[in-house]
Structure 1
Amino acid sequence: MGMPSMSQFTVETLLSPTLLFLTFLFFFFLLHPSVQTILTSFKDCRLPPGSTSWTIFGSLLTMLRHKPHFRWILKIAEGKDITCIRLGSTHVIVVNSPELSREFLKKQDANFASRPLTMATEYSGRNFLSVVIAPWGEQWKKMRRVVASEILNTSRLHWQSKLRTEEIDHIVKYIHNQCEKLEEPVINVRLATRYYTGNTIRRMIFGVRHFGEGGEYGGPGKEELEHVDAAFKVLSFIYAFCASDFMPWLRWLDIDGHERNMKEAIRVINKYHDPIIEERMQKWRGEKEKEVKGAKREVEDLLDVFISLKDNKGRPLLTMEEVKAQCQELVFATVDNPSNIAEWSLAELLNRPEILQKAMEELDRVVGKDRLLQESDLPQLPYLRACAREGLRLHPVAPFNLPHVALADATVANYFIPKGSQVLLNRVGLGRNEKVWDDAPRFNPDRHLKNGSTDVGLAEPDLLFISFGTGRRGCMGGSLGSVMTYMLLGRLLQAFDWSLAPGELGVDLSEDNRSLFMARPFHACAKPRLSFLANL
């Protein structure tokens, strides 16, 4: 046997499986976005400071070892104006500074107006059909026009003010029933506040308070409990930093079980929403002959509004999937903030009786004890609004706002922000920033009423903390969220005297490690303080 020629050696070697595989890996990693972004970091502007990362995985493996993941990210970003954490090929930019927040969402808003495609938002928006989670593009523009002009405008909010009043009346009656029938009326405040937000948005969208028969004392039935719990579960996974969002090829592994849990939560939401939407749509779109004869169907709730919208050719504007996606997104956007603010604020007030007394005196002075607080009273209640604002500052419902994605390379504060970066405004870092807020950990509504100003609300356009955001991706439901929050907190304070549960010396204000909610659902004793409540 002779030695192989040079030409034979070269061909056989190049065709060997091992060499072909290594060659593939070389070009794959050379062209992979994670390597490309590393190379771009050698531009004149450097990336913001951050954690040590591996070439391909970034800090993803480190993050996966720390649960919950958001606590690890908060820790890395603590005390820094801006931080860069690379997860897979994605640069996650965490912002704790109001000035830099305004740079991203005001001065350079157009470049940071998109959203990432994530596992959780794929489910929550039915493949990115709804307005809040849709990436920049025609679908987002279409749904934004619909929601802004037809759903959350001033006239539509006024149109549904009566039903909102009925729902806050119902919550007062629910708590009063417990006071009357329980030997020790210790109220589960979290349950009551979430029942209110769930009821209100169900009435607004579907025209129903309950999906079933309701529960004891006029409270939630098993259907309402399941519905609201599923909505909160969906929201928890939207903020969960799923590994496959940063390295999509990991999705089949379902690390941490995020996708399995998300599927189950959405299944519950669909179980309650879809039959109502499908039946209503069939009725609406099957009555064309009646409309011709003059028997046009009346619009009674937001679902009717969605279904009845027409394009410029008289055809239905929204598909069934778009209607379903936007209805469930409205639920997700409404149930959490008002209930969370009311629960935390009432807990803080019980620990600060002098502030509680001040809020009660304002309510008695403006509203009195012969009638219940109405939405029309809210402009005359600056201290109540300041209490809610302070509750939101200190106790945001989620650690970060929804991510803003860079559509192109950018420079912010002399730092290079690569295209595709996800920008997170840190709700905790901004709201509790010692550089911005004097004695930041202290619940102090008076800080929002300096120099006698009474122009106070939940909105924070200067991004000193995060409420409804700003710019193209600012929350369109700010007015609705504010009214629901003020009415819920105001009615709880006006209608009942609150005291600590038996055996407690003070309210434990500890946070749950897995979320920013109170570590335990808040319970307190309630005593009716208005004589006519029994007649509601």
Structure 2
Amino acid sequence: MFIEVLVLVDLLYSVIVFLTVQFLVCYLIPKPQRTLPPGPKGWPVVGALPLLGKMPHVVLAQMSIKYGPVMYLKMGTSGMVVASTPDSARAFLKTLDINFSNRPKDGGATYLAYNAQDMVFADYGPRWTLLRKLSNLHMLGGKALDGWADVRKVELGHMLKAMQESSKNGKEVVVAEMLTFAMANMIGQVLLSRRVFVTKGKESDEFKDMVVELMTVAGLFNIGDFIPQIAWMDVHGIVGGMKRLHKKFDELLNKMIKERNLMEFERKDKPDLLDVLMANRDDKNREQLSHTNIKALFLNLFTAGTDTSSSIIEWALSEMMKNPRILKRAHEEMDQVIGRDRRLEESDLPKLTYLQAICKETFRKHPSTPLNLPRVSTQPCEVNGYYIPKGTRLSVNIWAIGRDPNVWENPLEFTPERFLSEKNAKIDPRGNNFELIPFGAGRRICAGTRMGITLVEYILGTLVHSFDWKVCNGVEINMDEAFGLALQKAVPLSAIVRPRLSPKAYLV
């Protein structure tokens, strides 16, 4: 009995000592400070969400002037860090690339992208790697792009012919509608071996409206993404809109794939991307793709492939029409390199240095994704001496970098010549020069970077070379922005075009 009491006393003593040590460690010994990046305090519960307004990229750029290149915002129950300079972007997208290689699971990924079964929102892992590999090999990579060059040439020929007819009738050309029709058919040929819109009309215009709506709602800061406890309320109706839009796209994609399968006997020897994906789906020895994965990937390629490139071309034409000197110099270069007896060919592009400078300047001033696509940290980390917690959302303000006076001289002016100077001539938009990252950088750089640059240079160059561009008398070009995942013009560009090449150049 005495021994048992001694054991009990000893045990009690050990517990008291342990608890005392824990108390001293937890409460009396100073902890190393973990300092978050500076940022606005925001409101109770909702944090900084109400501060962002309707133009978050602009508001965040203004905030960065006060709080610095790495800024932290409390957003509901989670946090968001914003990088606003080339050096801070490099720290996140290159140095800490692997830690920020996943996307947050927000409403866009869930309700638009088939619950992140696509390539854009999928977790960094085997399925994402396979989707990206197959897309590069058969559509987006250099060799694949060369293999589909004839498709781009033919579809662009159809567009030029339609524009020539409009010019004869004195009709305005709505640039965004025209570009969406042509690009959707280019992509349709690669994905499904068919033009998805035979004629420009109601169906193609509705598709354009759906794409714009998707890019708009996917870029909104939805309160339910940041305060999950009230997500079910759908306060602003954003999720309801996403669900309705997803249903439309799902019906359209099912229809496209079904119609393509019915034309199997008409197919040529060259496989399209659907062939490749279906063959992989049936391969039991590899990572498997479902029918939903295929539709989700097609949604990525159709929407991003048409909207981001068309918006850049529309901004470039708008800037050139507002600056006739730039349009004139572009015409002079093209007349010297190509002449007026034939159309521009993709092989001409390396010789058109001023056209390339115009494209770079448009990527700088009007990036198609102003806040890049969001990423999220998988582990806590440190940037510039600041602590970044696990699960922090990352936005890189590409728009702010492109308009930073510490990076660019007279950044609000549209000056292609800046990219002809020795200082900037080697700057390239493919993700290696962080002063100009319109497609992002690192592992999650836009998979369509190479295709996007090719389409912008080739289509913009062809439109500039083929026509003179004018607005109706008394009409001023509106340069206001409409925020979304892609940066649209608030007022679409309409123009009167006049052919400037020999008539034979417009034959399909």
Q: Which residue of 2 aligns with 1:446?
A: 417
Cα deviation code 1:96-147 (max 9, x no counterpart): 1100100111111111111100111123321111111112333323323333
Q: Which residue of 1 aligns with 2:37?
A: 48
Is the Cα–Cα contact under 8 Å of residues 390 and 445 in structure 1 kept in the other structure?
A: yes
Partners of 2:507 and 2:128 in 1: how far apart?
47
Query: Match for 1:507: what amino acid?
Result: I
Structure 2 vs 1, CA of residues 267 and 99 (structure 1 numbering), >3 Å: closer, same or farther?
same
Equivalent position SS for 2:109: helix
1:221 to 192, 201, 215: 201
Partners of 1:371 and 1:111 in 2: how far apart?
50
Partners of 1:502 and 1:314 in 2: how far apart?
64
Structure 2 vs 1, CA of residues 125 and 365 (structure 1 numbering), >3 Å: closer, same or farther?
same
Partners of 1:458 and 1:251 in 2: how far apart?
37
Equivalent position SS for 2:237: helix
Is the Cα–Cα contact under 8 Å of residues 469 and 495 in structure 2 kept in the other structure?
A: yes
1:393 to 359, 364, 386: 364
Q: Which residue of 1 aligns with 2:374?
A: 403
> Shift of residue 352 of structure 1?
1.6
Structure 2 vs 1, CA of residues 189 and 275 (structure 1 numbering), >3 Å: closer, same or farther?
closer
Matched, 1:116 2:104: yes
Partners of 2:286 and 2:383 in 1: how far apart?
45
Unpaired segments ≥5 residues, structure 1: 1-41, 215-219, 288-295
Q: Which residue of 1 aligns with 2:242?
A: 262
Q: Which residue of 2 aligns with 1:517?
A: 488
Structure 2 vs 1, CA of residues 439 and 67 (structure 1 numbering), >3 Å: closer, same or farther?
closer
Partners of 1:279 and 1:499 in 2: how far apart?
40
> Shift of residue 317 of structure 1?
4.0
> Shift of residue 74 of structure 1?
4.5
> Shift of residue 278 of structure 1?
4.5
Query: Match for 1:181: what amino acid?
Result: N
1:470 to 426, 441, 452: 441
For 1:109-258, what aligned pairs fall within 5 Å after superposition?
A: 109-182=97-170, 185-211=171-197, 213-214=198-199, 220-258=200-238
Q: Which residue of 2 aligns with 1:37?
A: none
Q: Which residue of 2 aligns with 1:363?
A: 334
Partners of 1:157 and 1:452 in 2: how far apart?
31
Unpaired segments ≥5 residues, structure 2: 1-30
For 1:80-95, what aligned pairs fall within 5 Å after superposition?
A: 80-95=68-83
Is the Cα–Cα contact under 8 Å of residues 51 and 85 in structure 1 kept in the other structure?
A: yes
Partners of 1:176 and 1:43 in 2: how far apart?
70
> Shift of residue 364 of structure 1?
1.0
Aligned residues between the structures? 475
Equivalent position SS for 1:472: coil
Partners of 1:272 and 1:461 in 2: how far apart?
37
Is the Cα–Cα contact under 8 Å of residues 192 and 260 in structure 2 kept in the other structure?
A: no
Query: Match for 2:33: what amino acid?
Result: D
Is the Cα–Cα contact under 8 Å of residues 199 and 209 in structure 1 kept in the other structure?
A: yes
> Shift of residue 281 of structure 1?
6.2
Structure 2 vs 1, CA of residues 460 and 354 (structure 1 numbering), >3 Å: closer, same or farther?
farther
Q: Which residue of 1 aligns with 2:301?
A: 330
Identity %: 31
Partners of 2:404 and 2:38 in 1: how far apart?
19
> Shift of residue 315 of structure 1?
7.8
Q: Which residue of 1 aligns with 2:8?
A: none
Partners of 1:350 and 1:417 in 2: how far apart?
45
Provide the TM-score with structure 1 as the length reference.
Answer: 0.82
Partners of 1:499 and 1:282 in 2: how far apart?
44
Provide the TM-score with structure 2 as the length reference.
Answer: 0.86
Query: Match for 1:76: what amino acid?
Result: M
Q: Which residue of 2 aligns with 1:424?
A: 395
> Shift of residue 209 of structure 1?
2.6
Query: Match for 2:413: what amino acid?
Result: R
Is the Cα–Cα contact under 8 Å of residues 239 and 398 in structure 1 kept in the other structure?
A: no
Cα deviation code 1:361-403 (max 9, x no counterpart): 1111111111101111111111101101111111122330011
